[in-house]
Structure 1
Amino acid sequence: MFILAGIIAAFLSYLCNKAVLKKSGNTGITIVIPFIEEMTKTISALAINTSIIKTHFIFGIIEGIYDMATSSKAVGKWAALASIVSHSLFGVVTYCTIENGYSFYWGIFLAWLIHSTWNWYITKYL
């Protein structure tokens, strides 16, 4: 079921992200898109009652495939790897937050904060 949750999250995020990018550029990349992605991944996993970490991992694989398809060969490989690792890490953060007794809202918030920081760093320095 986590594969389905990851696919749903990737599809919903893709549609929303496309609209956000048209209107907000870098602000969307560093603030809005990370929130959309963290919310869709976690809520998809919770709605289907499946693994949050595995759902985030599947999302990262899908984003990685997209990165490879839309980037140069040299950049695409590294972007794909970064997608898989980073989204898995965001899933671990969300899961650990919830497992330590906090609301899934806090899990999404903390993952969003880290994801936003990551995207800010990538867009500013790489």
Structure 2
Amino acid sequence: MIRILIAGIFSAGFSYILNKLMLTKLGDRALIVLIPFIEEMAKSTAAIVLKTNFIGVHFVFGCIEGIYDYIYSNKKIGKWAALASVISHTFFGSVTFLIYTTTQRALLGILVAWIFHSTWNWYITNKI
């Protein structure tokens, strides 16, 4: 359990720093392609390095992002953004885990989750 928490916290902190840098350099277009890749790579790499549960790490990451969303989002949507963060990141972790355990190819799992994550971010930024 402690390795799940460490991996989730580390990947969230690492992603936060890189995401801020990418948003500063590239603006909102980083939200669709680059940031989902950074996050999926960070979460899954941390899970692999610490030999811990993919879904758990993604869930912890989603909780941390959810807290951030709740605090910094518009109060009208903050709780829904937080819930969406937890659910979506847990889903991305499930996708990664399923592909990885089926194929024994972590990178393939990360890439498939990245596609789902990028699609989700595109939808959220363009449709809502």
- TM bin (shorter chain): over 0.9
Letter in 2 for 1:2: I
Deviation at 1:73, TM superposition (A): 1.8
For 1:71 and 1:114, locate their aligned partners in 2 and report how far apart those are by CA, in whole Å: 23
Gaps of 5+ in 2: none
Moved more, 21-30 or 52-61: 21-30
Moved more, 58-67 or 21-30: 21-30
**Corresponding residue for 1:69?**
71
Out of 108, 111, 115, which is 2:110 matched to?
A: 108
Superposed CA offset, 1:51-81 (max 9, x none): 0000000000000000011112221100000
Q: What is the 5 A alignment of 1:37-56? A: 37-56=39-58
Out of 84, 87, 90, which is 2:86 matched to?
A: 84
For 1:107 and 1:7, locate their aligned partners in 2 and report how far apart those are by CA, in whole Å: 21
For 1:110 and 1:103, locate their aligned partners in 2 and report how far apart those are by CA, in whole Å: 11
2:52 partner SS = coil
**Corresponding residue for 1:5?**
7
TM-score (norm. length: structure 1) = 0.98
1:73 partner SS = coil
> Which portions of structure 1, spanning 4 or more consecutive aligned residues, are displaced by more than 2 angstroms?
none
CA RMSD of aligned residues (A): 0.7
| % identical aligned pairs | 48
Letter in 1 for 2:63: I
For 1:50 and 1:98, locate their aligned partners in 2 and report how far apart those are by CA, in whole Å: 13
TM-score (norm. length: structure 2) = 0.96
Gaps of 5+ in 1: none
